[in-house]
Structure 1
Amino acid sequence: MEPVTGGGATDGATDRETRSGRADGGDPVRGTARGTAPVPLSVLDLATVGSGHTASDALRTSVEIAKLAERRGYHRLWVAEHHSMPGVASSSPAVILAHLAAHTTTIRLGSGGVMLPNHAPLVIAEQFGTLEALAPGRIDLGLGRAPGTDGATAAALRRTDRPHEVADQFPQQLAELVRFLDDDFPDGHAYARVHAVPGPVQGSVPGGVQPADRPPVWLLGSSGFSARLAGSLGLPFAFAHHFSAANTLPALELYRSSFRPSRVLDEPYALIGVSALAADEEREARRQVMTGALAMLRLRTGRPGLVPTPEEAEEYERTMGELERDFVDGWLSNIVHGTAEQVRDGLDALAKRTGADELMLTSQVHTPAARMRSYELVADAYGLPSRTSS
């Protein structure tokens, strides 16, 4: 595999990235309609499975959230790859995105992200080429290098007892994936006659009319590795502030300082994922976010399960030990929650503090209606332009 050396317009994967277009105005990267929000607002949906609900329930809710996000003027909606977590039904982003594409018409859809070391690059190129054919011009391909799960599951996914060694090959896998997306392996390469279909090869054969467009590539991260790589390649970068808040400012600084303009971007474009929940009353927002905090506490202590009900979370909170309390308090401190006005103020402050170009909101809580209501309240608070429902 060739390394990604990225930077200039004739360098490695960056040159091949040029076909996704420059990021200005209303292109696939930068959003324009944002009401009074300081930056475009988007949604990250994890297909949360709450106690008393099924995966089918969660995926139906994902469809409703996608339709709401489209109707209320959010810029994009992404889903994320997770494995072996009972409370998260998003193990197969491409499958979910195909379903969401069938129920929406305008909102951008994408992966936030696909964990590339878990997959063969050709498979991802085929999956996202298929998604682009199903929803032309609406698909983002966000890529991460973490497994999206624990070590044992990562070993099962990657078919090795040293899964971290696979992650170390991420730059090479990225270069290979981009080659497949653009169908431009050089002559003599072992894969020169291998083509990702749907893809550009269909436009180069007799009678072919395949469009040249393909999904723009984003790099995702929760530390500095992908920040530096995205900057060196001139790619858009998405940072997981919602579970790695302590690393947000250092990672964004690293991304911006290492950024080299490319045909994809003239300047850095940084999106951050933000845990946020607005409710009609502050107390209800606190009740709901506590369900996600307890689910995370259980996950981090080796007891993964469904997201508990607010009543269960309240009962558990009464009996917490000191270490559990410290964890929960720390987790809640990074969730922007409260009334719509409080959430708006918190998001404004976060955007100002980080200089983020886009905020992607996620709400990992038990009650589907609470999540739906939150996105409505935030849209109202910012005066996001309503659109005709699909």
Structure 2
Amino acid sequence: MTRGSGETLPDGGDGIRGTALGRAPVPLSVLDLVTVGAGHTASDAVRTSVELARTAERRGFHRYWVAEHHSMPGVASSSPAVLLAHLAAHTGRIRLGSGGVMLPNHAPLVIAEQFGTLEAMAPGRIDLGLGRAPGTDGATAAALRRTERLREGAEDFPQQLAELTRFLDDSFPDGHRYAAIHAVPGPVQATSPGGVQSAHRPPLWLLGSSGFSAQLAGSLGLPFAFAHHFSAANTLPALDLYRASFRPSETLAEPYALIGVAALAAEEEGEARRQVRTGALSMLRLRTGRPGLIPTPEEAAAHPFDETERHFVDNWLGNVVHGTPDEVRRGLDELAGRTGADELMITANAHGGAARLRSYELIADAYGLPAEG
């Protein structure tokens, strides 16, 4: 089972897997929010991301994605294409991609050009994951899009997706207003005198946290990534809808579903809980209109939660797989079995880069992934 770009999917019937699975039931990947902790700078966060990507590559994780967010002091991933170019320069094998680019925030031609450039930088390693949410609050989304009509942007998502696909494939029909416009780098270069067709173009993924993108991905025969890490109640309904809606395409013969999951391992369960509470407090502040840097473990431990806040934090932590490496492995195995996911994409949100790096190493050890040099 392959995509039009030529990537062999890890669960393909040909027996080829895109990553060293060890004892993992499905391929494991990484979602990086490029988090900025209190006392650290965005430069520190980017350096940590480079180290995380190189660690993920060395340990046999399948892909490494970054996600578009805006106006959040603790998340330095407002420009996925720029980050991916930097990560591509520091890695050599692991797939890199967006999880995702928020399509309504951008002109489709711009995205096609950015990801065509990335594909030229790292041939055969780039994924283009797309979402229809703004990745921020309404006011910031309006500033990004230069329009107040945000609902129309979301409702136009299928049309925007079709336009982006045609730019990537250089396939507008004769007579279309964009027929003479070409995304470069892109296929048009192969039709120029002396041109050579690139072997790849970035494969498309649809991302979502509800049923809309699940159904659209299924109907188009595209791979689907679901944000279980912040919409756990919708995971099973969305995956069921995706599979029921799926129609085979040139991209996929069968459904392929990835789920994002928050997970953090430490040598001791208490230390894992101490670390993940920083992410929970950060999310509480975001949900109550007070976004900031990721707090330290000491700040999270000392925070005077009221009853409503404690209920929110407890519910949030209930969807974070955390503990010792063996506990995390069992939690991930259970989640993969319960959802039937074809791939798990792990995001480890904590204050410091050292805790996140150590977590991915411990999870790789728990699954027997290779410790390559």
Task: Give the structure-1-normalised TM-score.
Answer: 0.92
User: 2:72 aligns to what SS in structure 1?
Assistant: coil
CA contact (8 A) 2:32 2:347 kept: yes
Q: CA 1:50–1:22 in 2, change beyond 3 Å: closer, same or farther?
A: closer
- Give the distance between the partners of 1:19 and 1:288, measured in 2 at CA: 41
Aligned: 1:369 with 2:324? no
Q: 2:266 aligns to what? A: 279
Change over 3 Å in CA distance of 1:73–1:212 after alignment to 2 = closer
| 2:136 equivalent to 1:149 | yes
- Which blocks of at least 5 consecutive residues in structure 2 are unaligned? none
- Alignment of structure 1 residues 88-99 onto 2, 5 Å: 88-99=75-86
- Letter of the 2:367 counterpart: Y
Report if the CA contact (8 A) 1:43-1:69 is conserved.
yes
Q: 1:86 to 1:73 in 2, by over 3 A?
A: same
2 CA distance for matches of 1:301 and 1:216? Answer: 36
Superposition deviation, residue 30 in structure 1: 6.3
CA distance in 1, matches of 2:61, 2:260: 14
| Stretches (4+) displaced over 6 A | none
Q: Tell me the TM-score normalized by structure 2.
A: 0.97
Residue 314 of structure 2 is matched in structure 1 by 329
Supply the AA of the counterpart residue of 1:134.
Answer: M
Query: Could you list the runs of 5+ residues in structure 1 that have no partner in the other structure?
Result: 1-16
Residue 348 in structure 1 maps to residue 333 in structure 2: yes
Letter in structure 2 aligned against 1:227: A
Secondary structure of 1:20's match? coil
What is aligned with 1:106? 93
Q: Please list the CA deviations of residues 5-60 of structure 1 after superposition, one character each: whole Å capped at 9, or x if unmatched.
A: xxxxxxxxxxxx97324755688x96342110000000000100000000000000
Q: Which residue of 2 aligns with 1:178?
A: 165
Q: Which residue of 2 aligns with 1:216?
A: 203
**Root mean square deviation of aligned Cα:** 1.5
- 1:210 to partner: Cα distance: 3.4
Hey, what does 1:315 align to over in structure 2?
A: 302
Give the match for residue 48 of structure 2.
61
CA deviation digits over 1:185-219, x for unaligned, max 9?
Answer: 10111011100000011111101113142010000
Going from structure 1 to structure 2, the CA distance change for 1:291 and 1:25 (only over 3 Å counts) comes to: closer
Partner Cα distance (2:281, 2:7) in 1: 42
Alignment-derived partner of residue 385 in structure 1: 370
- Point out which structure has higher relative CO (alpha carbons under 8 A, 6+ apart): 1
* Match in the other structure for 2:184: 197
Q: What SS is found at the alignment partner of 1:19?
A: coil
For residues 298 and 272 of structure 1, the distance between their equivalents in structure 2, rounded to whole angstroms, comes to 25
**1:247-295 Cα shifts (integer Å, max 9, x gaps):** 0000000000000111111110000000000001111000000000000
Q: Is the 8 A contact 1:183 1:201 kept in 2?
A: yes
1:11 aligns with none
Judge conservation of contact 1:94–1:127 (CA < 8 Å) in 2. Answer: yes
The Cα shift of 1:158 comes to 1.3
Aligned residue pairs, count = 369
Counterpart code for 1:353: R
Contact 1:82-1:91 at 8 Å conserved across structures: yes
Moved more, 202-211 or 233-242: 202-211
Residue 19 (1) aligns with residue 10 (2) = no
Contact 2:206 2:225 in 1 (8 A): yes
Give 3-state SS (helix, strand or coil) of 2:196's partner.
coil
User: 1: distance between equivalents of 2:148 and 2:291?
Assistant: 22
- Other-structure match for 1:232: 219
SS of the equivalent of 2:91 reads coil
8 Å Cα contact 1:22/1:266 also seen in 2: no
Cα distance in 1 between the residues matched to 2:299 and 2:9: 47
* Native 8 Å contact 2:3 2:252 kept in 1: no
Instruction: Answer yes or no: is the 8 Å Cα contact 1:39–1:357 preserved in 2.
Output: yes
Q: Does the 8 A contact of 1:51 with 1:309 survive in 2?
A: yes
